[in-house]
Structure 1
């Protein structure tokens, strides 16, 4: 089953050195997951100041700068994994470095038939 592991944290939670160490630790985890056949994708995200939100209401498009939600913790990155069950996905989430500073939401994907294979 495929799971999206959504990483939420305060954008200023890490200094530059800590951020680089986090990226290196995440890269090691990704290589481990790849070797185990569980890795599908992962990436940190640019800061919310780089975000653009799009809404369509009554046929009109509305584009605004920044994230949709005003919260303390922001979506900062993700892992996409393919595991046997929720417990395995939770174990992976616990090994994501930012789980120690923020929160990792584990959410199963709905696999729609007929989509192109990437």
Structure 2
């Protein structure tokens, strides 16, 4: 089963890191990435750009585009990982590995159902 691990952090804190501090966090995260790649368990992952460059589409019809994500939270959604795991506990274990490298981040773990052209949808095994 696939799980999304969504990474949240206070954007101002991340942006305040020196290049060396950022590189140290990324080096730790990349150790987990490399292990998951060797195990063929890592799907797409991304570090998102600044929320200052984000926009939101909402509303009926064609919708209206507004600036920013307008999240009413202290942390912002800054990145994600898609991992192939046997169960939720395995996904939580990976999130813990990521958390060791970036302990001030928050990681949300969710089951993912992939939508692939021409492939019937699998039964949802969400836990």
Specify which structure has the higher proportion of strand: 1
**Where in structure 1 are there 5+ consecutive unaligned residues?**
none
Alignment deviations for residues 31-75 of structure 1 (CA, whole Å, 9 cap, x no partner)? 100111211121111111011111131x14200111132321000
Q: Show the counterpart of 1:37.
A: 40
Shift in CA distance, 88/50, structure 1 to aligned 2, threshold 3 Å: same
Mapped pair 1:102 → 2:91: no
**1:107 alignment partner, SS class:** strand
Extract unaligned runs of 5+ from structure 2.
120-127
Within 5 Å, give how 1:1-118 maps onto structure 2.
1-14=1-14, 15-16=17-18, 17-57=20-60, 59-96=61-98, 97-98=101-102, 100-112=103-115, 115=117
Query: May I ask how many residue pairs the two structures share in their alignment?
Result: 114
Deviation at 1:116, TM superposition (A): 5.8
Q: Does structure 2 retain, via aligned residues, the 8 Å contact 1:5–1:78?
A: yes
Look up the match of 2:125: none
Stretches of 4+ moved more than 2 A in 1? 114-117
Give the TM-score normalised by the residue count of structure 1. Answer: 0.87
CA RMSD, Structure 1 to Structure 2 (Å): 1.7
Distance 1:71 1:28, change over 3 A: same
Q: 1:39 to 1:116 in 2, by over 3 A?
A: farther
Distance in 1 separating the partners of 2:8 and 2:28: 17
